[in-house]
C-alpha cells in the first residue's frame, strides 16, 4: 500500500479514514471513486486501498447482518479496521419501523408501528435486549478476522449526566467487553452538560477511565446545547482521550483519526 494514509499508519501507527465509504460527498462522480467503481464491493475494495480504517455509520439506522460483516472482512486487507456505530435504540435514540427486522416488527402493535419514530420507551424490554444480541452477533465475523476496532456509542442531546445515564454508559462497556473481547467501547456525548465545567468534566472522565471506556472528541461549532466543550488538555493534544484504548477525533468533514499500533487497538503513548 503506497497511499498516504497507509504510509502514515505504517510509519506512525496512526490510522485515518472517513465516517463511511458511501458518504454522498465521496459518491459524487470523479471526486473519489473512479468511473466504473459503482458497486458496493468495488467501492469498499477501492476505499481500502487508500485508507486503513473506516467508520460504519449504516448500523445506526438498521441492525447489521452477519452476511455483510463477512463480506466486509473478505474485501479488505488483513490489517484494515472497521469502527462500527451502535444501533440507534442502543443509545436512547429513536428509530422507525423499517430499522427493525421483520420478525421483530411483527411482534409490535399497530399503535407502535404507526408512529413516525419509535423510542426505547415504546418497546418491550425483551425486544430491546434482542436488538443488542443481534447487533453483536452480526459483527462476529469482523471480530474473528481481527478487523473490529471499536463500537461507537453516540448519545443524543437528551442524554444528560444522571445516575441512570451513567449506569447505561457503563452497561454499554460491559456488553461490548462480554460479547466482543478486545474491542474498544467508544463514547460520544452530545449534551454539553457532560463537559460544561471542570467538575463535570472530571467526573465524566473518571467514569470513562474507571470502566476502560474511550472518549470520542468531536470537532464541532461551539455555543449550542449539543456542543461539547473541548478541555484544555484536548486543546493541547489533538490525540487525547480519557481512556486510552483508541484516540478518536470526528469532525464535520467526516474525517476520523485513530491511534493504534496494529490491527488491534492499543494504548497510545504519552
pLDDT band at 230 (very low <50, low <70, confident <90, very high): low
Average pLDDT for 46-72: 96
Per-residue pLDDT band for 263 (boundaries 50, 70, 90) equals very low
Residues 6+ apart with CB under 8 A from 150: 83, 84, 183, 184, 185, 186, 214, 245, 246, 248, 258, 265
Q: pLDDT band for 251, please (50, 70, 90 cuts).
A: very low
* Residue 86 · residue 173 · CB < 8 Å: no
Residue 166 clears pLDDT 50, i.e. is over it: yes
Q: Where are the domains of the chain?
A: 4-259
User: Which span out of 32-46, 212-226, 231-245 was modeled with the highest average pLDDT?
Assistant: 32-46
- Cα–Cα distances in Å, from 138 out to 16, 75, 166, 169, 266? 25, 17, 26, 22, 24
Judged against a pLDDT cut of 90, whether residue 248 lies above it is answered with no
pLDDT digits (tens, 9 = 90+) for 74-111: 999 999 999 999 999 999 999 998 889 999 999 999 99
Q: Is the pLDDT of residue 265 over 70?
A: no
Residue 196: per-residue pLDDT: 86
Residue 147 pLDDT greater than 70, yes or no: yes
Mean pLDDT of the chain: 84
Give mean pLDDT, residues 178-207: 93
Report whether pLDDT(28) > 60. yes
162 half-sphere exposure, CB direction, 13 A CA radius: 6
pLDDT at 245 over 80: no
Q: Which of 78, 95, 245, 107 is nearest to 176 (CA)?
A: 245
Domain 4-259: CATH architecture, name and number where available: Alpha-Beta Barrel (3.20)
Nearest-angstrom CA–CA distance, 206 and 214: 11
pLDDT, position 24: 85
- Does the pLDDT value for residue 48 go beyond 90? yes
Gap between the Cα atoms of 234 and 122, Å rounded:
38
Give the span between the Cα atoms of 38 and 242, in whole angstroms: 40
> What percent of the chain lies above the pLDDT cut of 70?
84
- Quick one: pLDDT at residue 231? 58
What pLDDT shows up at residue 233?
Answer: 52
pLDDT exceeds 70 at position 144: yes
- The DSSP 8-state label assigned to residue 3 in this structure reads S
Give the residue from 74, 79, 136, 126 showing the smallest Cα distance to 104.
126
How is residue 38 written as a grid cell?
Answer: 459503482
Q: State residue 232's pLDDT score.
A: 53
pLDDT of residue 25: 84
pLDDT of residue 54: 95
- CB contact at 8 A, 246 and 213: no
CA distance 254 to 19: 5
pTM of the prediction? 0.84
Amino acid at each position: 500500500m503506497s497511499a498516504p494514509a497507509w504510509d502514515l499508519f505504517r510509519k506512525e501507527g496512526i490510522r485515518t479514514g472517513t465516517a463511511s465509504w458511501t458518504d454522498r460527498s465521496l459518491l459524487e462522480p470523479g471526486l473519489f471513486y473512479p468511473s466504473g467503481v459503482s458497486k458496493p464491493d468495488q467501492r469498499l475494495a477501492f476505499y481500502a486501498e487508500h485508507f486503513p480504517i473506516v467508520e460504519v455509520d449504516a448500523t445506526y439506522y438498521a441492525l447489521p447482518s452477519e452476511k455483510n460483516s463477512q463480506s466486509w472482512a473478505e474485501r479488505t486487507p488483513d490489517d484494515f479496521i472497521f469502527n462500527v456505530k451502535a444501533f440507534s435504540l442502543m443509545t436512547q435514540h429513536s428509530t422507525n419501523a423499517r430499522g427493525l427486522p421483520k420478525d421483530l416488527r411483527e411482534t409490535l402493535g399497530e399503535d407502535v408501528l404507526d408512529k413516525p419514530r419509535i423510542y426505547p420507551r415504546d418497546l418491550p424490554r425483551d425486544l430491546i435486549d434482542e436488538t443488542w444480541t443481534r447487533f453483536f452477533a452480526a459483527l462476529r465475523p469482523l471480530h474473528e478476522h481481527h478487523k473490529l476496532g471499536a463500537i461507537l456509542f453516540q448519545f443524543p442531546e437528551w442524554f444528560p449526566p444522571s445516575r441512570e445515564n451513567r449506569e447505561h454508559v457503563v452497561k454499554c462497556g460491559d456488553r461490548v467487553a462480554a460479547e466482543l473481547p478486545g474491542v474498544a467501547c467508544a463514547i460520544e456525548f452530545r449534551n454539553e452538560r457532560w463537559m460544561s465545567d471542570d467538575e463535570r468534566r472530571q467526573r465524566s472522565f473518571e467514569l470513562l477511565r474507571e470502566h476502560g471506556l474511550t472518549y470520542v472528541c468531536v470537532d464541532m461549532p461551539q455555543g449550542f446545547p449539543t456542543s461539547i466543550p473541548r478541555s484544555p488538555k484536548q486543546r493541547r493534544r489533538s490525540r487525547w482521550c480519557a481512556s486510552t484504548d483508541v484516540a478518536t477525533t470526528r469532525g464535520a468533514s467526516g474525517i476520523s483519526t485513530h491511534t493504534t499500533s496494529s490491527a488491534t487497538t492499543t494504548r497510545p503513548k504519552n
